[in-house]
Amino acid sequence: MSDNEVFLSLIGGAVAALLGGLLVIPIRMVLRATDGGDDLGWGLLWIVLMIFSGIVGFALSAKWVRKRHSDKTLT
């Protein structure tokens, strides 16, 4: 991968991780969870969602970048 492709893939993974971490908000709203002062469970859920969505976002953006910006040369 070229530097441009790696950069775009990392940006895609970071954006997907942030959006995945924000999924905690609607989950808490649907479950009508109250804050009991111990955010360990919700914090771990937030971290797990960020990790998984970041990995998936990186893989999908890398696939998209390779298809769209391939230079057709062997290095």
pLDDT tens string, the chain, 75 residues long: the values are 678 888 888 898 899 988 888 888 888 788 876 666 566 677 788 888 889 998 998 888 888 888 887 665 544
pTM tops 0.75, yes or no: no
Dist CA 20 CA 58 (whole Å): 12
Dist CA 60 CA 67 (whole Å): 11
Provide the residue ranges of all domains of the chain, joining segments of one domain with +.
3-68
